[in-house]
Amino acid sequence: MMTLTAGENVASGTSRKVLGRGLAVLGRAIREQPRIFAVAVAGSVLFGLMVVASAFVVGRVVGEVVVPAIASGSVGTGALALAATALLGISVLRVVGIFGRRMGAGYMQYRLQADYRRRVTRRYLELPLSWHHRHATGTLLSNANSDVEAAWHPIAPLPFAVGTLVMLVGAVAALFVTDWALALVGLAVFPALFALNVAYSRRMAPRQARAQRLRAEVSGIAHESFDGALVVKTMGREAQETGRFADRAGELRDALISVGRLRGIFDPMLETLPSLGTLAVLMVGAYRLRQGAIDVTELVSVAFLFTVLAFPVRAIGWVLAELPRSVAGWDRLRRVLDATGEMPYGDSRLDASSAPATLTFTDVGFAYEPAEAHLPGAQVLGEVSFTVPAGKTVALVGPTGAGKSTVAALAVRLMDPRSGTVRIDGVDVRDLAADSLAATAALVAQVPFIFDDTVRANVSLDRPGVDDEAVWAALRLAEADGFVAALPDGLDTMVGERGTSLSGGQRQRLTLARALAGRPRLLVLDDATSAVDPRVEAAILAGLRSAEAGGPGASILVVAYRRATIALADEVIYLEQGRVVARGTHATLLATVPGYADLVTAYEQAEVDHDRQRTYDEVTPLTSGLEVDR
C-alpha cells in the first residue's frame, strides 16, 4: 500500500489526465452534434451578455434615474419609461437565451444518448455469443443505460459553462472599460471563484465516485440476497445477511456524509466569496468616487455585477465535477464499441425446398474463453466427427458437462469451432447467409426464452411466410394449441416479462412451436422437451420426420437423457468429456459401451440395487454427517 501523500499525488496526477480525456470526450460530442451545440452556446452567450448588461442597466437606472429623481424630488417620466423598458427587454432576451441554451443542451444530450444507445445495442447484436458469454448481463445492461448516461451527462451544463466563460471575459472587459481599480478587484475575485470551483470539483469527484460505487455494491448485495431469499430463509441466515448488507450500507453512509461535509465546506464559501467582492467594490469604489474616476452609476453597476455573476460561474464547476464519471462511462462504452470478433456470414444459400438437410461435423474442436482466469468454463470439445443423415434422428447422449450443448450450439452456428468444420448439405456453415442458415436449421435451447411480446410474435418472430395459419399449425404440433386457445386474447396475449406468466412446460412448448413454425430442415433439440410429456415428444418427433407436418420433413439432432427419447433415434452418439466415445444404435451401445449403459440404465440399476439392498438393510451405515462441533 502506498503512503497517503503518494496516493494523493497519484490521484491528482490521474485527475489531470482525466481532465484532458474528459475534454476530449466533450470535443467528440461537439463534433458529433455541431449545429445544436452552436445553438446552445449562442443561447448561453446571449444569456451571459444580458446578465452583464443587466448589471450596467441597473447601475445606470440608479445613477441616472433614481439619484436625480430623489435628489430633485421630481420624476423624469421619459427616462423612467426607458429604464423600465430596458429592464424588461433584457429580461425577454435572457428568456430567449435560456431557451436556446437549455433546449440546445438538452436535445444535444438526449440525441447523443439515444445515438450511443443505438450503437451499443447494435454491437450487442453483432458481437458473437462467445463475447456475450464473457460479460455479465448486468454489465451489458448498465453499458447501454447508465454508462451512456454518464458519458454524456456533462453535456447538459456544457453550453452554460462555455457561455459563462464568454460572460466572464465580457465582464472583465467591461470592468476595465469602467475603471482599472475595480477591474483589479474583479481579477482577484473571479479567478479565486473559478479556482475554488475547480478545487471543489476535484475533491468532490473521487468522493462521488466512491459513493456511486458503494451504491452499486449495496444494490448488488440486495439483489443477490433477495434472489437467494429462499436459501437465506431455509438456513436461517437473515441476521448474517443483514450484517453483510449493513456493513456496506454503513460504508455508503460514511461516504455520503463525507460528500456532505465537503459540500458543507465549499457551498457556503462559494456564496460568500462574491459577497466579499461586492464589499471590496464598495470600499474601492468609494475611493475612486472621491478621486472622481467613477460615478455612482458605475459603482452600483459593478457591485451588482458581482452579485449576478456568482451563480453562473458554478456551471463550470458542474462540468468539471461530471468529467471523471463521464470518462469512466465513455471507457466502458469504448470496450463495447471497439470489441472485435464478429462472426461474419457468407453469401451461400441452400435450396429451401429440398429434402431434409444433412449435418456433418468433421474434427470439430472448441474451447470457451473463460471470463476470468479462475472461472471454469474452459470446457473443451475435441475432434468431434459425426453425421446426421437426411431425414434421420440422431440422439446425443452423455453425462453432465460432456459438451452436448456445445455441439448443439455449433450445429446451428451460434459459435464457430476452434478447429474442424460444421457443414449442412456439404456447405460450411460459415459460408452461409444468415437468413438462409436460420431458415434451414433451428435450435430449441434447454432454457426456453420468451420475448416480452404476444404469443403470435413469439412464435412467428415476424419471419416472412409465417402467417397465423403456420403459427397455429406449429402450436398444434408442439401441443401448445390448447393452452394458447385458452389464453384471454389467444394469439394476441402478451406473454413474457409484463404479460401472462407461463409455466415451464408451456414456455418450452412455445419455443418448440417457434422452431417448428419456420419449417426447418434440420432441428436441434437441446434437452428441450424435458417438461413435455414423453408421448407428446414422440408425436412431435414423428410428425417432424414425415412430410405430413406440412414441411419438407427434417433431420433431427436431439440431446436427451430419457430413454423414451433415445429410443426414437436412428443412431446414438455417446459423448464423454468432449469426445465421441461411441456411436451406433441404442441396443449396440447398451451392449458394448459400459459408460453409456451406466448412464441410461441408472434408474433400472437403482431399482435392482434397491431390491438387493432390502436383504441387508441393517448393515452398519456409513459414518454419518460431519464430525464438527456445532
Partner 1 sequence: MSAIAEETKPGPEQAESTWMTLRRGLALSPELRIGLVGTIGLALVYMVGRVAVPVAVQQGIDRGIVNGLDFEALFTVVAITVGVLVVTTACGYLMMRRLFTVSETALAGVRIRAFRHVHDLSMLHQQSERRGSLVSRVTSDVDQITQFLQWGGVILLVNLGQLVVTTTVMLAYSWQLTLVVYAAFGPAVFVIRLLQRRLAAAYGVVRQRTGALLAAVGESVVGAPVIRAYAVAGRTARRLDEAIDSQRRAQQKAIRISIMGSSVGELAAGLALAGVVVLGVFLGADRTLTIGEVTAFLFLVTLFIQPVQIATEVLNEAQNAIAGWRRVLDVLDVAPDVADPGERGRELPAGPLDIRFTGVSFAYPGGPTVLHDVSLEIPAKSRVAVVGETGSGKTTFAKLLTRLMDPTAGAVLLSGVPLTEVRFDSLRSRVVMVPQDGFLFDASVADNVRFARPELTDEQLAAAFTELGLADWLDGLPAGLATGVGERGEALSVGERQLVALARAYVADPDLLVLDEATSAVDPATEVRLQRTLDAVTRGRTTLAIAHRLSTAQSADEVIVVDRGRIVQRGPHDELIRDPDSVYALLYASWLEQTR
Residues 396-435 binding partner 1 (CB under 8 A) are 399-401, 409, 412, 414, 434-435
Among 236, 344, 464, 594, binds partner 1 (CB under 8 A): 236
Q: Out of 363, 369, 497, 548, which residue is the one contacting partner 1 (CB under 8 A)?
A: 497
Among 365, 534, 552, 584, binds partner 1 (CB under 8 A): 534
Which span (12-20, 324-332, 540-548, 598-606) binds partner 1, by CB under 8 A? 598-606
Q: Per rule CB under 8 A, is residue 486 in the interface with partner 1?
A: no
Cell, residue 547: 412430410
Q: How buried is residue 97: exposed, middle or buried, by Cβ count under 10 Å (0-12/13-18/19+)? A: buried
Residues 375-394 binding partner 1 (CB under 8 A) are: 375-378
**Selection from 412, 415, 480, 416 nearest residue 443 by Cα:** 412
Residue 344 or 621 having the CB closest to partner 1: 621
* Contact between residue 585 and residue 572 where contact means Cβ atoms under 8 Å apart: yes
Cβ proximity to partner 1: between 271 and 548 the closer is 271
User: Which residue in the set 1, 4, 486, 622 belongs to the binding site for partner 1 (CB under 8 A)?
Assistant: 622
Is 605 a binding residue for partner 1 by CB under 8 A? The answer is yes
CB of residue 604 to partner 1, shortest distance in Å: 6
Closest contact distance (angstroms) between CB of 543 and partner 1 is 19
> Measured from the CB of residue 429, what is the shortest distance to partner 1 in angstroms?
12
Q: Are 116 and 151 in contact (CB under 8 A)?
A: yes
Helix axes 296-337, 4-32, angle to 10 degrees: 90
Paired residues of 522 in beta bridges: 441, 555
- For partner 1, which residue of 21, 207, 210, 215 counts as binding (CB under 8 A)? 215
Query: Residue 320 or 336: which CB sits closer to partner 1?
Result: 336
197 vs 511 by CB, closer to partner 1: 511
Choice between 24 and 269, CB closer to partner 1:
269
DSSP letter assigned to residue 430: G
Quick one: which of 342, 452, 489, 548 contacts partner 1 (CB under 8 A)? 452
Q: How far apart are the first and last CA of the chain?
A: 38
Subset of residues 555 to 584 that bind partner 1, contact rule: CB under 8 A? 561-564
Q: Is 87 in the site for partner 1 (CB under 8 A)?
A: yes
Give the shortest CB-352-to-partner 1 separation in angstroms.
14
**How many CB atoms are closer than 10 A to CB 351?**
11
Cβ atoms of 111 and 105 within 8 Å: the answer is no
Task: For residue 564, give the 3-state DSSP assignment.
Answer: helix
Residues in region 239-258 near partner 1 by CB under 8 A: 239-242, 245-246, 249-250, 252-253, 256-257
Count of residues near partner 1 by CB under 8 A: 173
> C-alpha angle 163/166/170, rounded to 5°?
135
Q: What is the DSSP string of 305-319?
A: HHHHHHHHHHHHHHH
Give the DSSP H/E element, type plus range, for residue 303. helix 296-337
453-454 and 494-495 strand pairing: antiparallel
| 283 forms part of the interface with partner 1 (CB under 8 A) | yes
Pick out residues in 291-330 that bind partner 1 (CB under 8 A): 296, 299-300, 303-304, 307-308, 311
Hey, which bits of 71-200 come out as E strands? none
> Between residues 4 and 125, which has the closer beta carbon with respect to partner 1?
125
The values of phi and psi at residue 293, to 5°, are -75, -30
Min dist CB 486 to partner 1, Å, is: 16
Stretch that binds partner 1, among 166-174, 180-188, 544-552, 605-613 (CB under 8 A): 605-613
φ and ψ at 553, to 5 degrees? Answer: 85, 155
Nearer to partner 1, 16 or 132 (CB): 132
Handedness of CA 560, 563, 564, 569 (dihedral sign): positive
Nearer to partner 1 by Cβ, of 3 and 234: the residue is 234
**Min dist. Cβ of residue 91 to partner 1 (A):** 2
Please, are residues 357 and 392 in contact by the beta-carbon 8 Å criterion? Answer: no
By CB under 8 A, is residue 542 in contact with partner 1?
A: no
Contacting partner 1 within 94-123 (CB under 8 A): 94-95, 98-99, 102-103, 106-107, 110-111, 113-114, 117-118, 121-122
Q: At 260, which amino acid appears?
A: G
For the bound state, the minimum distance from the C-beta of residue 436 to partner 1, rounded and expressed in Å, comes to 9
Binding to partner 1 by residue 610, rule CB under 8 A?
yes
DSSP one-letter string for 445-504: -SS----SEEHHHHHHTT-TT--HHHHHHHHHHTT-HHHHHHSTTGGG-EESTTSB---H
Report the distance separating Cα 324 and Cα 184, nearest Å: 34
Residue 514 binds partner 1, judged by CB under 8 A: yes
Cβ-based nearer residue to partner 1, 148 or 183? 148
